Amino acid sequence: MTYNMTYLETPPWLDTGDNAWQLTAGSLVALQSVPGLVVLYAGWVKHKWAINSAFMAFYAFSMVLVCWMLWAYKAGFGEQMLPFVGRPGPAVEMNYQIGQSTLPAAGVAQNFPQSTMIYFQFVFAAITLVLIAGSYLCRMNFYAWMLFVPLWLTFSYTVGAFSLWGGGFLFKYGVIDYSGGYVIHLSSGTAGFVGAWWIGPRLEEDLEDNTPNNILMMLVGAGILWIGWNGFNGGDPYAASPDAGVAVLNTNLCTAVSSLVWVGMDLMYFRKPSVIGAIQGMITGLVAITPAAGFVAGWGAICLGFGSGIIPWLTMNIAGRRLSFFAHVDDTLEVFHTHFVGAIVGGIGTGIFATVEGCAAFGATNPGGAIEGNPRQIGLQIVGALFIIGWNVVWTSLIMCFIKYVCRIPLRMSQEQMEIGDYAIHGEEPYTFAHYNIKHPTPPLMRRRTTKKGDEETQKDQGVLMGKDPAITVDRAPSSGDSIKEMPEKGTSTGASTGAVHTQ
C-alpha cells in the first residue's frame, strides 16, 4: 500500500496547538448539551416529564449534526448567496474537510483544518436548539419537535450565524458578538417565547405543581454548563491566543458575580437563598458575558455580572408575575428572561465596555465601545439585536404554522399524554417504581422487557404487572407458587428487604 505524503505531512498552515485547543473547546461545548442540558432539563421538570425533556435535547443534538453536514454549515459560514445567508451545500467531501479552514465571505482563514471549524460551529448550532426546547417542555408534541429542529436551523439559525459571524451584512456593518450573545442566546430566547405562545400552556395541574424532581441532578447539569463555557467563549478567537485566556477568565468572573447577586436578590425579596435561583443567576451571567468575553476588561466583566444578576431577576420575578404580557405565554424554564434579557444586557453592555485592546486582540477593527469614546457602538449593537429579534419572531411563527396547518401535525400533545407524561409518550419512566404507573397499564413492549421467559403467563394469571393497584403485592413462597395477598391493616409488619407484604 502506498500513501500520499502530501496529506501525511504537516501542512505549513497548520498550528497543532490551535487545532488541539479548538477541538478541545468544541468538545467542551458539546458536553454542555450532552449531557449538560440533558441532565439539567431532566432534573428541572416534574418526574413525569424527565425522559421527554431529556430526549428533546438529545434528539436535537443528533438531528442538527446531520443537517449541518448536508447543507446548513455552508449556509452559515460558506460563500455568500444573499447579504444575510450563505449558499447551502454539503460539507462531507474529504478534500474539503482536510483543507485549511476559511470563512470566505468574511475573508479570514484559520490555522486548523476545515473539519475542526465545522465541528466547532456545529456544537453552537446544536446548543441553540437545545436551549429553545427549554421553553417548550412538558407539552410539545414530539413529532412536531422532530420537524421544528431542522426547519428552524435552516431558516433562522444559519441567517443569524452568517449575518454576524460568516461575513454577512451585520458583520460588515460593525456589530460585534464575541461568542453568540445574539446568534445563540437572543435568537433562542426569542424563538422560545414566540414558539411557546403558539404551542400553548401546560396543563393546569403542571402549572400549579411544577416542583423539580431532582435538584441535585440540576446542579450536576449546571456545573457541566458552567465549566463547558470555557470552550464556548475561549474557543472563539479560533486560536490558542492571549485573548482566549482573557475570555475564559472573564466568563468565570462574570458568572460568579451574577450568581451571587441573584442569590442576594432572592435573600432580600424571598428571605431564602434558592439553589434554583443560583442556577438561574449562573445562566444569566454566562449569557451576558458571551457577546463581550474577550472584548472587555475584568472590571467590565464584573459590571456585566451585576447587570445580569439584577435585570433578568427583575423581569422574571417582578415583571413576569405582574405584566399581562407574560401571563399569556408559558415559557417552561423561563428561557426568555435568562437568555433573551441576559443577551440584551450583554449585547448592549458590549457596546459600552468593549476595549480597544480587546477588539484588537480578537482581530476586530472596532475602536472599542462607549468607554473608549465610541458611543456609536451601542447603536450598532441595538440594530443587531433588532434584526435577530425580528427575524426570529417572523420565522418561528411561520415554521409553527407550517407544521400545524400544512403538515397537519399538532403542536401539542394529546390531553391523555399530558396527563400521564413520559410513560404515555415513550413507554418508559425515569425511575422504575411501580407506583408511578397506577394510572395506566404496562405496554406490551415494557412487559416483554421486564419479565423472564416462562414467567409471563404466571404473571398474567396473577395480575401483578406495572400499573396495578399497589395495595396488592406478591408474596414469594419458596416451595409453592406466588400468591396474592391484600395489604395488611395498620400495624402489620412488612418485609423491608423485598418489598413484599407478609401477614402474621
The rounded distance, in Å, linking the Cα atoms of 405 and 430 is 33
Instruction: Check residue 101 and give left, alpha or beta (phi > 0: left; psi -120 to 50: alpha).
Output: beta
The tens digit of pLDDT for each residue in 244-267 reads 999 999 999 999 999 999 999 999
The grid coordinates of residue 30 equal 458539546
Helix (H) or strand (E) holding 289: helix 275-289
Least trusted range by pLDDT, from 237-246, 366-375, 453-462: 453-462
The tens digit of pLDDT for each residue in 345-354 reads 999 999 999 9
Average pLDDT of the chain? 87
Helix (H) or strand (E) holding 483: strand 483-486
The tens digit of pLDDT for each residue in 164-209 reads 999 999 999 999 999 999 999 999 999 999 999 999 999 999 998 8
In percent, the amount of the chain with pLDDT more than 90 equals 78
Does position 331 have pLDDT exceeding 80, yes or no? yes
H helices of 32-108, where? 38-44, 50-67, 73-77, 94-98
Model's pTM, two decimal places?
Answer: 0.84
pLDDT of the residue at 325: 85
User: What structural domains and CATH numbers belong to the chain?
Assistant: 16-406 (1.10.3430.10), 432-468 (no CATH), 471-504 (no CATH)
pLDDT band at 481 (very low <50, low <70, confident <90, very high): very low
Between 443 and 288, residue with greater pLDDT: 288
pLDDT of the residue at 442: 54
The rounded distance, in Å, linking the Cα atoms of 94 and 58 is 28
| Average confidence (pLDDT) over 139-167 | 97
pLDDT of the residue at 147: 98
pLDDT of the residue at 431: 76
Q: Which of 162, 149, 159, 124 is nearest to 67 (CA)?
A: 149
Give the side-chain half-sphere CA count within 13 A for 19: 16
DSSP 11: P
Neighbouring CB atoms inside 10 A of 109's CB total 14
Neighbouring CB atoms inside 10 A of 297's CB total 16
> What is residue 472's three-state secondary structure?
strand
The rounded distance, in Å, linking the Cα atoms of 6 and 99 is 12
Between 134 and 451, residue with greater pLDDT: 134
> Residues 6 or more apart from 314 whose CB is under 8 A from it?
none
> Residues 6 or more apart from 455 whose CB is under 8 A from it?
none
Between 291 and 471, residue with greater pLDDT: 291
DSSP 47: G
- Considering Cα of 133, then 27, then 237, then 98, what sign does the dihedral take? negative
Question: Which residue is it, cell 435552516?
Answer: 154
Does position 150 have pLDDT exceeding 60, yes or no? yes
Instruction: Check residue 463 and give left, alpha or beta (phi > 0: left; psi -120 to 50: alpha).
Output: left
368 burial type by CB count under 10 A (0-12 exposed, 13-18 middle, 19+ buried)? buried
Neighbouring CB atoms inside 10 A of 194's CB total 23
